Structure 1
Amino acid sequence: MAYTGTPQPLTVHPQGQSAAPPALPEAHVTGADPLLLAGPVGAARADELDTAFHTVRAALAGRRIIDVNSTMNGGGVAEMLHRLQRYSRGAGLDTRWFTMQGDPAFFALTKQLHHLLHGAVASGSPLNRAGAEHYAAVSEANARALLGVVRPGDVVTLHDPQTAGLVPYLRRAGSKVVWRCHVGTDDPNPYTDRAWAFLRPWLETADAYVFSREQYVPGWLAGRHVAVIRPSIDPLSAKNQPLAPSTAAAVLSRVGLRAPADRDGPAIYRRGDGSVGQVRRNPTSLFSASPPPADAPLIVQVSRWDPLKDMAGVLTSFAEAGGSLNGAHLALVGPDVTGVTDDPEGARVFAECAALWHRLPDRVRTRAHLAWLPMADTEENAVIVNALQCSATVVTQKSLAEGFGLTVSEAMWKGRPVVASAVGGIRDQIEHGVHGILLDDPRDSVSFTAQISSLMGDQCLADELGAGARHRVRDNFLDDRQLLQQISLYQNVAGV
């Protein structure tokens, strides 16, 4: 995946008039034959997907499929778009993927909307007239740039609050517009009401809407074309392909998250184009007294540095447990925040975690590790995450709120026992006691560490949950299912 040209900075003038960038950044995605999925999902499912692609390709008759979001790196949406575009291109669809440009004030406002849609309190300036005018100016600038390439009849999917302002421009230009929201809460409250009041005027004219859970759909969309499509993972990607234990160990040793051992293999992996890659980059930032011993139990949480992922809460819970977790080490791992341009909170959240790490007693700090993973090579980043999840004794996702939480499915696919919060889409992935452990209250640190400790002390239970987890993902959360739902949506929206 690469940029086309050099992204240009967006200039928003004080009068509210905005200068459009020459072109929006575009991803180059290499296509892959969807029949490759036959290995993990079976021939029947792969054939069904291949047939659906042939049908929709003929029906679209040259109309293009276009995705627009706010970043090509960092977070589940960017990863998902890369994969779905990869198989769609491999099946012969004419697909393109662009990302919006914006200034810090724009992304601060949209991050505030992100929190509000989760039903959470959000810091920042109020969603007042000035904020709305700035959002409108940035949206107009991006829309004018996008309209240079979008044609009437193209099906355009816009992702999350950053893109909502593009809807009316694209509709007036004759595009079929889908707005997809990847965040939400089961319990609407005054915070969600504020977010929808801001976004609704922009979204009214969209042709269709997509949410990850039915509970996330706001009441004002009653009677509209709404689809519920749960996210999924690619079993063939660098993040989810099988890794030999020796390879996983070598990868973690290479990046300083495990002490080396004589039996380690080379830190190599298979890239998406079939070539062999080798992990060469160190973490951009690593807080660790020394790597975890090769035989130490490992607790892992991989997340963006977002306050709703509660990385600081995981670290605090680990510290409060003291020595009661069977000599385990904790690895909290996320992306290099400088590589995630649409999230202005990442640096602050990581700084809070780092400050907490420095204050820990020595006996705890030597068993806790914080890492930023480099973002320059997305596949290298992915294989490091793969190695962490494969090597984990327990994987956690102690989110305070969650749109879906694909890191849960990633760990489940690898047969790892997962302890996760019973919030949002995590509840769709895990049935408590069958596919993992759900926490009724993510802020209950005593219950959190007790559940981890029980899994670490009961290998039979851990193995049973891990096996159930892998079957659950195979049946429900692999990419062929989401692609089939997406194809059906394209046909409905395009009227073919």
Structure 2
Amino acid sequence: MTPPPTGRGRVLHVNATATGGGVAELLHGLVPAQTTAGTPTGWAVIAGDHDFFRTTKNLHHLLHGTGDAGGLDARAVAHYRAVLAPQARWLAGQVAPGDLLVLHDPQTLGLAPALAAAGARVIWHCHIGTIRPGADGPALVWDTFATDLAAVEGVVTTLPEFAPPSVAAHRRHVVPPAVDPDGPKNRPLSPDIVAATLAATGLVGGRPAADAVATVEQDRPLPPGVRVVAQVARWDPLKDMTGVVRLVPDLPDDVHLVLAGVDPTEIPDDPEGRRVLDEVRAARDAMAGPDRARVHLLLTSLRDETRAALLINAVQRRADVVVHKSLEEGFGLAVTEAMVKRRAVVAADVGGIRRQIEHDRTGLLVDPTNRAAVLAALRRLLAEPSLRHRLGAAAADVVAERFTMARLVRDYRTIVDRRAPRPAVAGPIVEEAR
């Protein structure tokens, strides 16, 4: 852990991993951007063992309206707190009264009481949630962490519905994430660079480079001129990568699917990744030969994050259509990344994605559980280049207006500058996202 530089108005972001996952990716851009904008900012990463991360992944699912309520028992919660206790003491010794600590997602929420007691201002930024009626998981989490939520000055969520009801409305901020259009994952790439980047992995013709930043699992490389559908996501059950693979037999014969995600063996805080990847492999292996040959799995490595980001950039630019078939989604960064590249997106009509895409104007929204609807949307975009162009152009305009890192820095500046009374008395005013 590294504290931010000393000075008035310091900010320290705290999350569970320095690489892999949307929060880490967001912080890689946000921390330097805040510092450049004049806010002294640092970033600390907590540690945890297998049982800790198994519990926090269950919290992740519970907040999405799924998960195992029985898995959040007294023993699991006690272990969660025991893992965080020494780290909370260390962090408390690094902060000064008035510093703002931003705790990201359920992995870090248990740090709040000790840090608030040390005099720090504490904000909890929850990037996940569900808007599905009748979901019991969030209520269980709010009840289990009632003491921790009482210790925070405010809560940041992507949608108002994601916020804990126990946190008064005047202590909530509504702030969607953002992307850096100039970062390696999003910056413009020429067609030649796209082709060369993909060739270096073996995804297209040629042998992979000795230092390739990804492993490709495929029967043969992408043939020249074929149409490509791509999904970029973690190997997580809520991303429904297996469901995407099973669409392939009903897509036109010249359409290939590329599924891309970080090698799950390199992500310590996500114990489900290997199992999901194995399920995807099994679904692919069960296909008839011609269909199996149209499925390409791309496992990127975190050994060189810049090159891996450029590879994902190239994959999305090679795609004719980007799909994001999440069953639940707090906010789809991969959706915004495709939008900034002017790609037409078929995305699940769930959670924060509804804030990103306006149906039939900046993309197509579908019920992710309705296979026929997903297929119809994909076929429509594949068959209509002019529609893809129209949706992609409008999508890029929306990202430039609403989902850039500059806007996120401004939103955080509002939070930093708002000096609120202690949580028991009052807190920050709601900041509606622009």
- Is 1:434 aligned to 2:361, yes or no? yes
Q: 1:130 aligns with which of 57, 75, 94?
A: 75
| Higher alpha-carbon deviation: 358-367 or 251-260 | 251-260
Count of residues paired in the alignment: 421
Corresponding residue SS for 1:210:
strand
Corresponding residue SS for 1:204:
helix
For the residues of structure 2 that align with 1:428 and 1:422, how far apart are their CA atoms? 10
Aligned pair in 2 of structure 1 residues 489, 300: CA closer, same or farther (>3 Å)?
Answer: same
CA deviations on 1:300-342 (whole Å, 9 max, x unpaired) are 00000010000000001223x1xx4251110001001122111
For the residues of structure 1 that align with 2:190 and 2:14, how far apart are their CA atoms? 36
For the residues of structure 2 that align with 1:461 and 1:350, how far apart are their CA atoms? 33
For the residues of structure 2 that align with 1:200 and 1:187, how far apart are their CA atoms? 22
Trace 1:77-88 onto structure 2 (pairs within 5 A). Answer: 77-88=23-34
- Is 1:291 aligned to 2:212, yes or no? no
Cα offset, 1:378, TM superposition: 1.2
Corresponding residue SS for 2:376:
helix
Unaligned runs of 5+ in 2: 422-427, 429-434
Cα offset, 1:282, TM superposition: 2.6
For the residues of structure 2 that align with 1:350 and 1:176, how far apart are their CA atoms? 40
Q: 1:452 aligns with which of 367, 375, 378?
A: 378
- Is 1:350 aligned to 2:280, yes or no? no
For the residues of structure 2 that align with 1:326 and 1:221, how far apart are their CA atoms? 52
Aligned residues of 1:65 and 1:95 also touching (Cα < 8 A) = yes
Aligned pair in 2 of structure 1 residues 123, 364: CA closer, same or farther (>3 Å)?
Answer: farther
Name the residue aligned to 1:365: 292
For the residues of structure 1 that align with 2:181 and 2:278, how far apart are their CA atoms? 33
Q: 2:404 aligns with which of 454, 468, 478?
A: 478
Aligned residues of 1:151 and 1:175 also touching (Cα < 8 A) = yes
Name the residue aligned to 2:45: 99
Counterpart residue type for residue 242 of structure 1: P
Name the residue aligned to 1:209: 155
Unaligned runs of 5+ in 1: 1-23, 29-56, 262-266, 268-278
For the residues of structure 2 that align with 1:402 and 1:133, how far apart are their CA atoms? 28
Aligned residues of 2:213 and 2:301 also touching (Cα < 8 A) = yes
CA deviations on 1:180-206 (whole Å, 9 max, x unpaired) are 100001135212211222222222110
For the residues of structure 2 that align with 1:280 and 1:490, how far apart are their CA atoms? 46
Cα offset, 1:284, TM superposition: 4.8
Aligned pair in 2 of structure 1 residues 61, 376: CA closer, same or farther (>3 Å)?
Answer: closer
Cα offset, 1:414, TM superposition: 0.5
Aligned pair in 2 of structure 1 residues 493, 383: CA closer, same or farther (>3 Å)?
Answer: farther
For the residues of structure 2 that align with 1:447 and 1:307, how far apart are their CA atoms? 20
Q: 2:341 aligns with which of 414, 430, 443?
A: 414
For the residues of structure 2 that align with 1:437 and 1:27, how far apart are their CA atoms? 43
Name the residue aligned to 2:96: 151
Trace 1:399-410 onto structure 2 (pairs within 5 A). Answer: 399-410=326-337
For the residues of structure 1 that align with 2:351 and 2:71, how far apart are their CA atoms? 26
CA deviations on 1:454-478 (whole Å, 9 max, x unpaired) are 1111111111111111111111111
Aligned residues of 1:249 and 1:260 also touching (Cα < 8 A) = no
Name the residue aligned to 1:334: 261
For the residues of structure 2 that align with 1:434 and 1:63, how far apart are their CA atoms? 41
Corresponding residue SS for 2:77:
helix
Trace 1:186-201 onto structure 2 (pairs within 5 A). Answer: 186-187=131-132, 189-201=135-147
Name the residue aligned to 2:431: none
For the residues of structure 2 that align with 1:297 and 1:465, how far apart are their CA atoms? 18
For the residues of structure 1 that align with 2:71 and 2:192, how far apart are their CA atoms? 52
Cα offset, 1:62, TM superposition: 2.5
Q: 1:244 aligns with which of 190, 193, 196?
A: 190
Cα offset, 1:358, TM superposition: 1.3
Identity %: 39
Counterpart residue type for residue 438 of structure 1: L
Counterpart residue type for residue 379 of structure 1: T
For the residues of structure 2 that align with 1:182 and 1:156, how far apart are their CA atoms? 16
For the residues of structure 2 that align with 1:325 and 1:299, how far apart are their CA atoms? 11
Cα offset, 1:236, TM superposition: 0.8
Structure 2 length-normalised TM: 0.93
For the residues of structure 1 that align with 2:69 and 2:401, how far apart are their CA atoms? 42
Q: Which has the higher contact order (CA 8 A, sep 6+)?
A: 2
For the residues of structure 2 that align with 1:461 and 1:212, how far apart are their CA atoms? 29
Corresponding residue SS for 2:59:
helix
Aligned residues of 1:326 and 1:453 also touching (Cα < 8 A) = no
Corresponding residue SS for 2:204:
coil
Counterpart residue type for residue 140 of structure 2: R
Aligned residues of 1:413 and 1:473 also touching (Cα < 8 A) = yes
Cα offset, 1:125, TM superposition: 5.4
Q: Which runs of 4+ in 1 moved over 6 A?
A: none
Trace 1:12-161 onto structure 2 (pairs within 5 A). Answer: 24=1, 26=2, 62-120=8-66, 122-123=67-68, 126-161=71-106
Aligned residues of 1:415 and 1:469 also touching (Cα < 8 A) = yes
Q: 2:173 aligns with which of 192, 205, 227?
A: 227
Cα offset, 1:134, TM superposition: 0.7
Aligned residues of 2:62 and 2:68 also touching (Cα < 8 A) = no
Aligned pair in 2 of structure 1 residues 146, 202: CA closer, same or farther (>3 Å)?
Answer: same
| Higher alpha-carbon deviation: 66-75 or 80-89 | 80-89
